[in-house]
A and B are shown apart, each in its own frame.
Chain A
Amino acid sequence: MTINVENVTKTYESGEVTIHALREATLKIPDHKIVTILGPSGSGKSTLLNVIGGIDRFDSGTLVVAGQQLEFLKDHQLTDFRRKYAGFIFQQYNLIPTLTVQENVEVGRELSENPLDMKSMLEKVGMYDKKDKFPYQLSGGEQQRVAIARALIKNPQFLLCDEPTGALDEVTGKKILRLLKYVNEEFGTTVLIITHNHGIGAMAHKIIKMSSGSIVESFDNESPVDPEKVTWA
């Protein structure tokens, strides 16, 4: 599957100011790769991730994901698109506090026609022993593992991670990165990671740099490093 972004533009109004969130962004993301989108706050990286994931609309341009031209999809079709192809991981994990670890993962499992096995998924993210715990009983890193399991269990084609390590310390953050790399290798899932931590770019197959809504640089990384060797900024 290829994600094909062509001249995608997105603006929005904030008071009397027009903000150009994306300016004719163009890029191609090959299947089964890890891609990092780097840039400072307000550079448009989250907007780019959101439009690719179908949770935000754009004003002009063409965006093809999994063979579907997103600008032509209605709201309910976008929902089905996300349900079928996308997995989301958020900086604040966004788990449901009243559900246990296993139940939170079950939330994702229910959406899929061919979900992965619950037990092995929990084992793979290292949360099987804590499957009956509630989110408030877990550390930040553990909560993020659950969020990853929730995203992965439905066997999505791509994983969209918005600052997945933003709220974590280096040790925990690296554990999460290792997990993402494992997911990519084990399931062939395309992983898009947004981060302002430039060091994380070193583990990606492709690095995209953004500034003021534009893609300023996009290049392939011939020798991605192990997450352990990522420089933590």
Chain B
Amino acid sequence: MILRKSILRTIKEKKFQYIGVVFLLVLAVTLYTSLSMAISTLDQRNRIFKNDYKQETFHFMTREPLKNSQLQELESEYDVTLEERRFQDLDIDQDAVLRLFNTSEEVNVPFVSQGVMPQGKNEIALAKVFAEQHGYEIGDSITLAGTKAEVTGYVYLPDYIYMIQQQSDLLSNPDQFGFGITSKETLVNIQGEEQIQVIGWSETNSVPEGMRASVNEKSTLLQFVGHEDNARIQFVENEIEGAQTTITTLPLFVLALSIAMVLLLMKRRLDLQRKEIGTLMAIGYRKNELIRHYLGYAWFVGLSGTVLGTLAGIGLSIPLSNLYAQFFNLPSLSLFDWDPMVLVLGVATPLGLLLVLTFIVIWRALKVDPLTLLRPKEMATGKKSWLEKLPVLNSGNFIKRFRLRLMVRSKWRSFYIFLGVMFSTVLLFFGLIMFNSMDRLVETTYEEIYTYDYAIHYKTLMTDTDETKDGISPYTSSEVEVTTENDTNKALIYGIEPGTEYLNLSSEGEKLNDRLSEGAVLSKPLAAILGVSEEDEITLTNSLNDEKRTIEVAGIADVFIGTSIYLPKSEVNEFLGFPGNAYTSIWQGQKPKMNENIFMIEDKQKVIESFESNSGATKSSVIGMAVFAVIIGVIVLTLLTNLIVEENSPSISLFKVMGYHDKEVSKLVLSVYTPVVMLSFFASIPLAVLSLEGTMNSLVKETGFLMPTEVSWWMVLIGFSVITLTYALSLTLSKQKLKKVSLQEALKKQQD
């Protein structure tokens, strides 16, 4: 159809508008494709690694190691595969800890990505990111507790995908912690505290019922972790699951903005060309031919946006996948490890939506008969909307009336600006709140509430009073089940001395330690998971003996990490069936020395440092979000103001003819939407808080932490400045267009 030529010429003539919408679409598709490809790569690698390398279903540690005969007994009774695995935590490079395992053969089978499996004496393979971080290459030698060993390869372990030292750790930091594997003989020869764990695999991927109690009967359980509670395994699954929301929500919103803009442009084009359409209809063009012709604009925007977006997305997915590889130790097990459906969806969804919605707009416009289209629009409709009839629009001076009318005449445009500014504001505040919340989280949880420096966990139940001297605060902790009216969840119960100097439970500055006599104090994530607040009741069940106890929630502390319940130690000991003076762990200010009774030492400073080392990444992502918000804002606002100038060019020209200066005309026409921008900005702040809270709450069960979502005055100030500057920039760009409107424009329009 010859008419097609006019499409390309129109696009060339209005290049700014079309480049703008194509760019929005490219952004949407790039976001979707890159995130989806990175996540599907992660998912695919995780699934293959998990299945082919027999990721554990559970692992446990007992006070006395189980004998082979006992393990075989359990294997046949519960139809599971069990394997004993030994490990040592070794200090290397001053501040780092290397967890060195012996090579397992049946469960958590290691995968060596480069080099070879360590087989000879004093050979080890290291986790790749850890080796890279510490500068170890294959063939290098490494000193482990006085023993020199050679690095033979880089290794991945299916139960250390998220490489954290303690299950309670939030952030993986290869600078501080990593793992390696070696032969049993080498491990035995290294001087250090060797620990033994049993790793288990079940075909059903669930812990057989009664097994836990059965193990406990054979030897006291120190730790039993199912795969669903294992942060090193679960974190990647949570990331994959949680990312689905981001993958779809963010691109969908940008896509919506892009499609809405195309529809606005299409409507404008159809309005502008109504006489042309009428002529074409009059000379015999059929509606379907005209629909096909006008759909050409949507095809152009859709195809160029999706193709460019997909290409950019594929390109961006590579650094994103590499970034994920820094966090998750997943080997690349196949060449093609992403889902091709991502590309199909990335192209088909925006293109399909764009075409269908544009079709509706065109179809509605072409419902009118040719004769009506041949007449000028004012004659065809000529009616004022009810909004225009409002008395407020008919009072005041001319400038006020003109501006208000312009605003209400294009309600959809006001709405579009509102949405665009809202999107930018919410994005900006997401970044600002998250940036602040990392600091707040460390400040409140690790500095104001956890005032200890070290937490020492023992292998056995302690009653030794020597340990409870000055500067030391003993406590009891154990896993329990918490039941509310709606749900049952696992949590960690802490029996503490209410007067302890190492745990200052508080909520917004109010001390809660004294309330422990009235009931339990919960951490924020647990309260969110259970959906409880103060004065609600919860029921605790001792996992080992099924004993239950119902208690009242006395307070919810500003502890943002972990699903914890705090109660007086005596009460917890009684509930768990321990002697009154028993404890499982202590908090202290001094650095402890490792001894045979100690199961694990937690160094709070390392946790804080780990957070701080990650703040660089957070800062970068905040800057990224801000830049993205500004880009979206500038495009949306400039496109709209540009369209307003174009639509009102006869009036602008007339104002100029009458002697108005550009500045005055700009005030009349361009800055009309300032109240909408301001309204949208302020309305979006609570929306950002609510949606971030909603996102955090929806993920809290999987992640076990909540981010404080407070808005400070400085955030409002920064946000306001960014949005105002964005708006000012778009106005400046549109003013250039306004200046170009010629004085003849009014005359030309009248001739038409």
Interfacial residues, chain A to chain B (CB-CB below 8 A): 50, 53, 55-56, 75-76, 79-80, 82-84, 86-88, 90, 92, 94, 96, 98-99, 103, 106-108, 110-111, 150-151, 154
Across the interface, name the chain A residue whose C-beta is closest to B273: A96
Contact B371–A79 (Cβ < 8 Å): no
Contact B2–A110 (Cβ < 8 Å): yes
Q: Does B279 contact A (CB under 8 A)?
A: yes
Contact A99–B371 (Cβ < 8 Å): no
A46 to chain B, nearest CB (A): 9
The one of B2, B9, B281, B374 that contacts A79, using a Cβ cutoff of 8 Å: B281
Which residues of chain A are within 8 angstroms of B9 by Cβ–Cβ distance? 98-99
Contact B275–A94 (Cβ < 8 Å): yes
Q: Does B509 contact A (CB under 8 A)?
A: no
Across the interface, name the chain A residue whose C-beta is closest to B12: A98
Query: Looking at the complex, which of B282-290, B304-312, B417-425, B584-592 is the stretch in contact with chain A?
Result: B282-290
A136 to chain B, nearest CB (A): 10
Contact A56–B284 (Cβ < 8 Å): no
Q: List 27 A-B contacts (CB under 8 A).
A: A53-B282, A55-B371, A55-B374, A56-B371, A76-B286, A79-B281, A79-B284, A79-B286, A80-B284, A82-B283, A83-B285, A86-B284, A87-B283, A88-B282, A90-B279, A90-B374, A92-B752, A96-B6, A96-B276, A98-B6, A99-B5, A99-B6, A103-B5, A107-B3, A107-B283, A151-B283, A154-B284
Q: Does B10 contact A (CB under 8 A)?
A: yes
Q: Does B485 contact A (CB under 8 A)?
A: no
Q: Does B370 contact A (CB under 8 A)?
A: yes
The answer to whether A50 and B6 touch (CB under 8 A), given A79-B286, A111-B283, A111-B284, is no
The one of A55, A92, A96, A154 that contacts B282, using a Cβ cutoff of 8 Å: A55
Q: Does B617 contact A (CB under 8 A)?
A: no
A84 to chain B, nearest CB (A): 7
The answer to whether A96 and B281 touch (CB under 8 A), given A55-B369, A56-B371, A79-B286, is no
Which residues of chain B are within 8 angstroms of A111 by Cβ–Cβ distance? 283-285
Q: How many of chain B's residues touch chain A, expressed as a range?
A: 20 to 34
Interfacial residues, chain B to chain A (CB-CB below 8 A): 1-3, 5-6, 9-10, 13, 275-276, 278-287, 369-371, 374, 752
Q: Please indicate which of the listed interface residues B282, B283, B285, B370 has the most CB atoms of chain A within 10 Å of its own CB.
A: B283
Which residues of chain B are within 8 angstroms of A82 by Cβ–Cβ distance? 282-284
Q: Please indicate which of the listed interface residues A50, A55, A75 has the most CB atoms of chain B within 10 Å of its own CB.
A: A55
The one of A75, A83, A92 that contacts B283, using a Cβ cutoff of 8 Å: A83
A41 to chain B, nearest CB (A): 14
A185 to chain B, nearest CB (A): 23
Which residues of chain A are within 8 angstroms of B287 by Cβ–Cβ distance? 76, 79
Q: Please indicate which of the listed interface residues A79, A84, A154 has the most CB atoms of chain B within 10 Å of its own CB.
A: A79
Which residues of chain A are within 8 angstroms of B275 by Cβ–Cβ distance? 92, 94
Which residues of chain A are within 8 angstroms of B286 by Cβ–Cβ distance? 76, 79-80, 83
Bound together, the chains give a CA A106 to CA B13 distance in angstroms of 22
Contact B283–A108 (Cβ < 8 Å): yes
Q: Which 7 A-B pairs have the closest CB atoms?
A: A83-B284, A98-B6, A94-B279, A98-B9, A106-B2, A82-B284, A55-B370
Could you tell me the dominant secondary structure of chain B's interface residues?
helix
The one of B1, B13, B281, B369 that contacts A110, using a Cβ cutoff of 8 Å: B1
Across the interface, name the chain A residue whose C-beta is closest to B284: A83
Contact A88–B1 (Cβ < 8 Å): no
Bound together, the chains give a CA A50 to CA B374 distance in angstroms of 11
The answer to whether A94 and B371 touch (CB under 8 A), given A76-B286, A99-B6, is no
Which residues of chain A are within 8 angstroms of B2 by Cβ–Cβ distance? 99, 103, 106-107, 110
Which residues of chain A are within 8 angstroms of B10 by Cβ–Cβ distance? 98
Which residues of chain A are within 8 angstroms of B276 by Cβ–Cβ distance? 94, 96
Which residues of chain B are within 8 angstroms of A87 by Cβ–Cβ distance? 283
A156 to chain B, nearest CB (A): 9
Across the interface, name the chain A residue whose C-beta is closest to B8: A98
B383 to chain A, nearest CB (A): 11
Across the interface, name the chain A residue whose C-beta is closest to B283: A88
B616 to chain A, nearest CB (A): 52
B752 to chain A, nearest CB (A): 7
Across the interface, name the chain B residue whose C-beta is closest to A104: B2
Across the interface, name the chain B residue whose C-beta is closest to A90: B279
Across the interface, name the chain B residue whose C-beta is closest to A105: B2
B294 to chain A, nearest CB (A): 13
Bound together, the chains give a CA A152 to CA B4 distance in angstroms of 22
Bound together, the chains give a CA A80 to CA B245 distance in angstroms of 51
Bound together, the chains give a CA A56 to CA B369 distance in angstroms of 8
Bound together, the chains give a CA A133 to CA B278 distance in angstroms of 23
B651 to chain A, nearest CB (A): 21
Bound together, the chains give a CA A92 to CA B283 distance in angstroms of 15
Bound together, the chains give a CA A86 to CA B275 distance in angstroms of 18
B441 to chain A, nearest CB (A): 58
Bound together, the chains give a CA A76 to CA B289 distance in angstroms of 12
Bound together, the chains give a CA A110 to CA B374 distance in angstroms of 21
Which residues of chain A are within 8 angstroms of B284 by Cβ–Cβ distance? 79-80, 82-84, 86, 111, 154
Bound together, the chains give a CA A207 to CA B371 distance in angstroms of 25
Which residues of chain A are within 8 angstroms of B3 by Cβ–Cβ distance? 96, 99, 107
A16 to chain B, nearest CB (A): 15
Which residues of chain A are within 8 angstroms of B370 by Cβ–Cβ distance? 55
Which residues of chain B are within 8 angstroms of A103 by Cβ–Cβ distance? 2, 5
Which residues of chain A are within 8 angstroms of B13 by Cβ–Cβ distance? 98
Bound together, the chains give a CA A50 to CA B373 distance in angstroms of 13
Bound together, the chains give a CA A98 to CA B276 distance in angstroms of 11
B376 to chain A, nearest CB (A): 11
Bound together, the chains give a CA A75 to CA B9 distance in angstroms of 31
Sample of 13 further A-B pairs with CB below 8 A, known A87-B283, A90-B374, A94-B276? A55-B282, A55-B369, A75-B369, A76-B286, A80-B286, A82-B283, A82-B284, A88-B282, A94-B279, A103-B5, A111-B283, A111-B284, A154-B284
Bound together, the chains give a CA A151 to CA B9 distance in angstroms of 23
B382 to chain A, nearest CB (A): 10
Across the interface, name the chain A residue whose C-beta is closest to B278: A94
Across the interface, name the chain A residue whose C-beta is closest to B13: A98
Contact A98–B5 (Cβ < 8 Å): yes
